[in-house]
Chains A and B, each alone.
Chain A
């Protein structure tokens, strides 16, 4: 019983660090500034489109970067320019969203990475 509770507690801790199953913060330090409330999905033509939405919870105008890694049904990565880092900025205490369309009709899985901006 104790083991089960410990396992549940650990699972909750891990889930607590990850904003969404398909979204990951590269630097955990940004998790106090930005929240990810969810990821919408739809199919456009034959391509999957996702929209990540959340809020800049800090009291400052902030810049971030994101990239999306797409994979095919066999788990192989599909290289494309949508896997390059893209900048986005949000005003303080304001919601944000960014959408990305799959680079190929073969793309079925994805992982969104959110990171601090580069200092250049």
Chain B
């Protein structure tokens, strides 16, 4: 009897594990999976790519002497119904702007998520006798930003006559010249999705 029970358990386990869907890695270069009503990495890649292309093409980052502008990252507001870390968008933009060699990003000032507190912390060592004062960061060395990048992601849900749901996502960004307060570049990318009214986009 015991043998029958243990054999049944083994067969049942094998059946369950054999039938379970395999976990697959996503091929980021050729993702043929269907769209989701929420925002996924494909949407952030598309929005960030378009924003960087637009910014570089606008000429706003063309400094006369061929030097690079210093950009501070200001607030990127998430005005959607989803829990989004806006760094998913901002990090991609920062990386591509640095690679372009047309701008550098400061982590000394900016919104909380984009500041490296160590910039300030290490300067406290200037009065600390435990540290070799020749190796500490001196006052007056931090570079102030020329430009500030800010933005917002907006979501709008629309119920359609046929019972379907339309979700519109607006990615809006501005690049402000800090000495004048004038926006040198602005753009908006819209990503729209339409699906079942039962789908929940938050």
Contacts and interface: CB of A to CB of B under 8 A. Distances in A.
Contacts of A47: 56, 100, 102
Q: Give the contact-size bracket for chain A.
A: 20 to 34
Contacts of B92: 81
The size bracket of the interface on B is 20 to 34
A89 interface: no
B33 interface: yes
B32 A118 contact: yes
Nearest to A105: B101
Contact of B35 (A78, A105, A120): A120
Contact of A86 (B49, B57, B66): B49
Interface string B164-187: 000000000000000000000000
Interface string B13-44: 00000000000000000111111000000000
A67 to B, nearest CB: 9
Contacts of A82: 49, 52-53
Among B34, B59, B66, B99: residue with most chain A CB under 10 A: B99
Most A CB within 10 A of own CB, among B32, B34, B101:
B101
Interface of A: 44-47, 49, 78-82, 84, 86, 99-101, 103-106, 118-120
Given A45-B62, A103-B56, 10 more contacts: A44-B56, A44-B57, A44-B59, A80-B99, A81-B49, A81-B92, A82-B49, A104-B100, A104-B101, A105-B100
Interface of B: 30-35, 45-46, 48-49, 52-53, 56-57, 59, 61-62, 66, 92, 96, 99-102
- Smallest CB-CB A-B distances: 6 pairs: A45-B62, A81-B49, A101-B57, A101-B56, A105-B101, A120-B34
